Structure 1
Amino acid sequence: MSDGQFSRPTTPSPWVMAHAGRITPGADVLDLACGAGRHARFLLEQGFRVMAVDINISGLDDLIGHPGLATLEADLENGPWPLGNASFGAVVVTNYLWRLLFPRLRDAVAPGGVLIYETFAEGNEAFGKPSNPDFLLKENELTDWFSDWNVIAYEHVTVDRPKPAVVQRICAVRPA
C-alpha cells in the first residue's frame, strides 16, 4: 500500500502487544508487510520464530543473523504469493491493506492459529494519509472476512497515537 508517505512508528502497536499472548509459545509467526520490523523485534523478544516479509527489508539489517528470524523481500502486490503453502501459528499485519491477499492470509494461519490485524479504515481521510479508499477498510470488513473464525476482539475506532487515525483491528483464531 502506498498512498503517499507517512511516518512509521517504531514501537510495537498496543493492539499487537495486547494479543500476542494468544500465540502459542514458540510458534512461527509471519510479520507481513513488516516495514522496519517493530513487530518482528517485539515477537523475537517474546521467543517466537519470525518470518518478516516486505518489499524492502533493509530496516531489518541489524537483525540479520538472529537465529529466530527469517526474512523475505517480496512485492506482495505485483508478484505471486511468496510463501507457497506455508502456514504459521500467527500472522501479524499492521498499517497495510491489499485486499487480494485476504484469501492467502486466511490460508497462512494454521488451524488453531491467531490473526492479529490492524490498519486504517474509512474516516481516516479526515486525518491525512492514507486517504485513498483502496487503502481504507470499510466498516466491519475484517469481521466479514473472518466471520467463520473465533473473533476474540474487534474494533473500529479513532486513536490518538502514534498519530490521530481511524483504524480497524481484529484478533481472531482460525478454527482447529
Structure 2
Amino acid sequence: MDVQDYGLWSQVDCNQEFEFLCKYEIPPTSTSSIGAVILDADNHIDLDHPVQLIDTSNCNATLFLAPGSISSFGYPVYTVPPTYCTWQLVALGPYRLGIFFDFWETYGTLTIYDEFGNDIGRFMGTYDRTPFPRYTPFNVATVTFEPMPKTGSEVDKGFHAVILPL
C-alpha cells in the first residue's frame, strides 16, 4: 500500500520484505449502532442503556473506497451531538464517483471538492430535501459536512449518501 499518496496499492518487487497490516470490518449487530454491555450496581447486564462504540458514518475516515455509504455522525440515531466530518472518497480504476443522497434532514453545510480542491457542489439551508445525486469529474473527491447548531425544537437528523463508482 502506498502510504505516501492516497493509500492505494502499488507494485513492488516481491523479493522485498515489508511489514503488513490486516484490516476487517466489524459487522453491525443492528441497523442503528453497536452497543456495549454495561453492568448496573448489582452487576446485572443493563441492556436498556447501550453505549455507542462506533457508528456507521465513516466520518473522518482517512480514505474511503467506493462502493459504500457515508452519513452524518450518529445517523440514524439522533442522540449524538452534531460533529464536523470529512471524507476522502476514491473509486479504483477509470471511474468517476456517484454520490446519491437518499436522506437529507439537516440545515448543515455539505461541500464536495474534486481531487484538486475545486468546489464542485455545496448544499445548505434546506432542511428536508428529496433524494438527489451528484457526480464528480474524477475518481477522487473530498466531502466535508459542517452541522448547524440546533435551533428551537427541530431535531437535526443529518444525511445519508450511497457512494458508487461510475
TM band (smaller chain): 0.3 to 0.5
**Structure ID, larger Rg:** 2
Q: Which has the higher helix share?
A: 1
Relative to the length of structure 2, the TM-score reads 0.36
* More RCO (CA 8 Å, sep 6+): 2
Q: Which has the higher strand share?
A: 2
